[in-house]
Amino acid sequence: MTMDETKFWRLVEAAQGEMTPELSNQADILQAKLEGLPPDEIVEFARIQRRLLNEAYRWDLWAAAYIIEGGCSDDGFEYFRAGLIGFGREVFYAAVRDPNTLVRQPTRGVDFSNEDLLYVADKAFEATTGRELPD
């Protein structure tokens, strides 16, 4: 199966389910899963992730991030959006439709922001191929 959005979410949600909240190790788990895939699928994972990050680049979500995080710079908003993806498909799309849904989202001891999720494809591609992920 080639990488598509369904497979993307399956990988993200599997890593979320396996993570230990105290260790905040979702990114490490996801990277390990990506390293088991062919390089072209890792590239496509990165493309889907970038598209979703762009889709969530909305002022109403930034306002929610500002409230949740107690302030939110432009970098902080990117980390917030990465963390939002890390919560899975249902939470992500609900928040994009209506950021107020985040009020009901239990964090289970995990911060909304997750900068490390931004780099999983880059690290997996480099570990797999010895090269940097293409733009």
pLDDT one-digit tens code per residue, 25-81: 999 999 999 999 999 999 999 999 999 999 999 999 999 999 888 889 999 999 999
CB contact at 8 A, 127 and 35: yes
State how far the Cα of 18 lies from the Cα of 26, in Å rounded to an integer. Answer: 8
pLDDT recorded at residue 18: 92
- Report yes or no on whether pTM surpasses 0.95: no
pLDDT of residue 108: 45
State the CB neighbour count (10 A cutoff) for residue 38: 12
